[in-house]
Amino acid sequence: MSMTKHVHWILVTLSMGLLIACSENRQTNDQTDVGKPERKTPKINLYSGGYKTFVIKDNDTAFKSFKKRYTAQQQHVILALNRIDFNNFNNVDSLLIPDSVQTDINSYTPFPLTVKELKPVDKMVFFSYPIQAFAAYENGQLIRWGPSSMGSKKYPTKTGLSFTNWKAEEHVSTADDEWLLRWNFNIRNKEGIGWHQYTMPGYPASHSCLRLLENDAKWLYDWAEQWVVEKDQHVLAEGTPVIVFGSYDYEGDKPWFKLLQDPKATNITEEQLVKEFKPHLERILQEQEKRKQVMASRRDSI
């Protein structure tokens, strides 16, 4: 091979390498803009047993007994069912405990596994005031549920439809600068309302926000979508739709203890969820389509 042909071959090879590299980099950027890889719907084996109580009040050995009797995963499930975290273990009189403690909290979901009329909606979050719990759906399939501590009687959480907007791993509350909110995802920008990790006492105690256990707050933080805004805060596309619904009986017993008499006492039916989101479905789908168009336009401009 002559020197001229050899140099030409090297230049062609380098050019092809650069083109491939640029193509791969463009693909990576596009995937980042589109979002995370498609999530597999978890297999959920529903619990069908009964429940009992575990007395804590005035029992100094209760915590030791609890930790000895149940694994770490089982402890988490039990506390979640009681809407508390470990810091509030000694602040409740008793715990509701399944006769058979599974390690997957989804086994005890009070929300329906499928909602057919939600199939065209990519992502949707519900917060139920009556049972203090959230549920996340993808195309009508339940992906995750968990406990919440919503607005107190004095500072109730606003019900209805909203959309996730901005998020921050740590955010100082605008209501009290001593409140550090971790994994905060705002859903009502002007009112400063969002979900985040914070103490879970076993009843609605927040200042209008939606408190979560840390693992749930972090999961939702990664899963839900932020809004798309311009520099002047003009909203180009909304984030994930969120519906807060129902009301809480602040004077009554904790609703999850009704499971002692009826293991389905806190169940929310598919029809109930449809009733909550159906009036908003047209707007939800419009905002979803607008978001896809905005994201596609941004990818094309790269």
pLDDT of residue 300: 78
Name residue, tokens 């049972």. 131
- pLDDT value for 176: 54
Catalytic residue among 6, 8, 76, 209: 209
pLDDT of residue 212: 97
Whether 37 is covered by a domain: the verdict is: no
Distances (CA, A) of 50 to 28, 164, 263: 49, 36, 6
| 237 in any annotated domain | yes
In a domain, 294, yes or no: yes
Is residue 8 a part of any domain in this protein? no
Domain that holds residue 192: 51-300
- CATH (domain of 134): 2.40.440.10
From the number of C-beta atoms within 10 Å of its C-beta (0-12, 13-18, 19+), residue 17 rates as exposed
Residue 235 tokens read as 């909203």
Q: Is 76 a catalytic residue?
A: no
Region of residue 92 (phi > 0: left; psi between -120 and 50: alpha; otherwise: beta) = beta
Q: Do the domain assignments include residue 135?
A: yes
Q: Clarify whether 196 is annotated catalytic.
A: yes
The total of other beta-carbon atoms located within 10 Å of residue 204's CB is: 21
Residue 277 in any domain: the answer is yes
Catalytic residue among 22, 76, 171, 196: 196
Please tell me the total count of domains within the chain: 1
Phi, psi of 19 (to 5 degrees): -65, -40
Query: How many Å apart are CA 221 and CA 301, to the nearest integer?
Result: 27
Domain-located, residue 21: no
Low-confidence ranges of the chain (pLDDT < 70): 1-39, 58-60, 171-180
Structure tokens at 18: 């650069």
Q: Is 118 helix (H, G, I), strand (E, B) or coil?
A: helix
| Predicted pLDDT at 17 | 40
- The per-residue pLDDT for range 127-136, each reduced to its tens digit, is 999 999 999 9
Q: Which amino acid is at 64?
A: K
Residue 33 located in a structural domain: no
